[in-house]
A and B are shown apart, each in its own frame.
Chain A
Amino acid sequence: MRIVVDLNRCQGYAQCVYLAHEVFKLNGTEALTYDPNPDDARRLQVERAAAACPVQAIMIDRLDGAGRGARS
């Protein structure tokens, strides 16, 4: 699956880290890094993390892999 975090919005509350620590990690106390294309098996965790973000900075692909048509 695909995600992106708006790190301008992110304030380092780290709620995502508690809920999906294989996908979201803190580097130090505030700097968030993450896996932009985590394994589909982690979908539930990632959705929980996105819902929990106090500033709603985590955005998840809404096409679910279908219909992207990125190649001509």
Chain B
Amino acid sequence: MAEETPWQQALRYANRADPYPFYAELRKTPVARQPDGTYVVSTYREIVTLLHDPRVSSDVRKLPARAPAPAEPGAEPITEAVIELEPNIITCDPPEHDHDRRTMTRHFFGPPHAPHQISDLEPDIRRIVAGLLDGMRGKTRIDVVDEFAYPLPVTLICKVLGVPLEDEPRFHAWIETALDALDFGPEAASEEMRSRLAGARRSVKELAQFMSGLLGQYAERPGPGMLSAMVHDGGPDGRMSEGVLVSNAVLLLFAGHETTVNLIAHSVLTLLRHPEALEELRRRPDLIVPAVEELLRFESSVQFWHTRSAVEDIDIAGTTIPAGAPIFLVYGSGNRDPERFTDPDRLDLERPDNEHLGFSQGIHFCFGAPLARLEVQAAVGEFVRRVENPRLVVDPPPYRHNQIFRGPRHVLVDIDGIRD
């Protein structure tokens, strides 16, 4: 059997906690063809270039069915099987993308219509954070993921969208199942992953049905939140079709909290690994603003994206990506590229010129970034201020299976108490 490429090794579950040495290896070939024909792009400059290249499509429908060569049983097509919905804004191209995103922006944050909608959420965010930290009083050990990083974003996204919080256990289970089944690495062919896939398919379908039902209810009776607004008012671009509406509602619900959960968990984990940075942040609370940017760079919540492909031959970094080839842009590696970031493996809360790719760039720049920033600034800032003497119990902590939405499953921390 051929030796595994750095990319394949980076994807192995055993390396989930620290894929960075493999990324460093990967960057020696900025645009690296994989055995299954995928082109993996790992250097900052090349990633940014391709993010702005109109010869790159993000449309899942344009992805070729990746037939694995017999010698490469690991190269199974996985994504397409899981995602059976219509394309959402991350998985389609202009002009559909531009129309749909404009419509969604109109009802989400609203510039130029209502740019204050997001900052208006800040008191809510602070109240939820305070409640979660208050709830830890009297405990000596907490799980940062389950007790802190998860409840905040999920509560908030439900409010923003108008999804009943009572339904959280159901959609949480569907999303977990789907995420755990997604694998782009050598382990995808295992018996375990194949069986997960069947479950994931059911889960995605159930999630879509749930969303469809909710949208149907809002169609009959308008309610608060973005989903209802999207059903009733498409703005100048017109209303989205039923299928597109469901896909994007699923996207908003899922991406609207999963990535933030990972970012909060990773932020706490990273700060606990860097006591001097933690202390500095405790001394200078204003530092939370640049600190969150650095944490976005340091542990990107979306490590790479998998739906892009070349619509024609693209010459880049001495390689030609042939028309039709899938392209993975590895943000997690670009963010650690020493050609772009001085001393990239060092956490520098005041890093100047921090043009990180934590939210990507170009037309698919993270839709929820403004909300995520506020949540993480509040959550991490307050955690640092209020939690007394936090100590990591297990390092590295156990990770979730998913490679794209990379994050710890639990972060156990011993604490001495909660300040007021």
Binding site for B on A (CB under 8 A): 11, 13-15, 17-19, 21, 25-29, 44, 47-48, 51-52, 54-56
**Other-chain residue from A21, A44, A54 in contact with B111 (beta carbon distance below 8 A):** A21
Measured in the bound complex, the distance between the Cα atoms of B365 and A54 in whole Å is: 9
**Other-chain residue from A26, A27, A29, A54 in contact with B355 (beta carbon distance below 8 A):** A54
8 Å CB contacts to A: which residues of B330-386?
353-355, 359, 361, 365, 369-370, 373, 377
Given contacts A13-B365, A18-B118, contact A54 B290 (CB under 8 A): no
8 Å CB contacts to A: which residues of B270-320?
286, 289-290, 292-293
Contact B355 A48 (CB under 8 A): no
Ordered by A's residue number, 28 sampled pairs between the chains whose C-beta atoms are within 8 Å are A11-B361, A15-B369, A15-B370, A17-B112, A17-B115, A18-B109, A18-B115, A19-B119, A21-B111, A21-B119, A25-B112, A25-B115, A26-B111, A26-B115, A27-B112, A28-B112, A29-B112, A44-B286, A47-B286, A51-B289, A51-B290, A51-B354, A52-B370, A52-B373, A55-B355, A56-B353, A56-B354, A56-B355
Contact B289 A26 (CB under 8 A): no
Closest to A31 in B: B112
Contact B119 A18 (CB under 8 A): yes
Q: Tell me whether B102 is interfacial, beta carbon within 8 Å.
A: yes
Contact B293 A52 (CB under 8 A): yes
Given contact pairs A19-B370, A56-B354, a sample of 11 additional A-B residue pairs in the complex whose CB atoms are under 8 Å apart: A15-B369, A19-B118, A19-B119, A19-B373, A21-B111, A29-B112, A48-B377, A52-B293, A52-B369, A52-B370, A55-B355
Complex interface: chain B residues within 8 A of A11 (CB): 361
Measured in the bound complex, the distance between the Cα atoms of B354 and A51 in whole Å is: 8
Main secondary structure of the interface of A (DSSP, over half): mixed
Given contacts A48-B289, A54-B365, contact A21 B355 (CB under 8 A): no
Complex interface: chain A residues within 8 A of B286 (CB): 44, 47
CB distance from A63 to the nearest CB of B (A): 17
Interface centre among A18, A25, A48 (most CB of B within 10 A): A18
Q: Tell me whether B116 is interfacial, beta carbon within 8 Å.
A: yes
The 10 closest A-B pairs by CB, nearest first: A18-B370, A21-B115, A17-B111, A26-B112, A18-B118, A51-B289, A17-B115, A26-B111, A56-B355, A14-B111
Binding site for A on B (CB under 8 A): 102, 109, 111-112, 115-116, 118-119, 286, 289-290, 292-293, 353-355, 359, 361, 365, 369-370, 373, 377
Total number of A-B contacts with CB less than 8 angstroms?
58
Given contacts A21-B111, A26-B112, A47-B289, contact A54 B102 (CB under 8 A): no
Closest to B110 in A: A18
CB distance from B366 to the nearest CB of A (A): 9
Measured in the bound complex, the distance between the Cα atoms of B373 and A69 in whole Å is: 37
Interface centre among B292, B353, B355 (most CB of A within 10 A): B355
Measured in the bound complex, the distance between the Cα atoms of B353 and A52 in whole Å is: 11
Closest to A51 in B: B289
Interface centre among B115, B118, B354, B355 (most CB of A within 10 A): B115
Measured in the bound complex, the distance between the Cα atoms of B111 and A25 in whole Å is: 8
Measured in the bound complex, the distance between the Cα atoms of B364 and A11 in whole Å is: 12
Measured in the bound complex, the distance between the Cα atoms of B11 and A31 in whole Å is: 41
Complex interface: chain B residues within 8 A of A15 (CB): 369-370, 373
Contact B293 A18 (CB under 8 A): no
Complex interface: chain A residues within 8 A of B293 (CB): 51-52
Complex interface: chain A residues within 8 A of B115 (CB): 14, 17-18, 21, 25-26
Complex interface: chain B residues within 8 A of A18 (CB): 109, 111, 115, 118-119, 370
Closest to B362 in A: A11
CB distance from A21 to the nearest CB of B (A): 4
Closest to A43 in B: B286
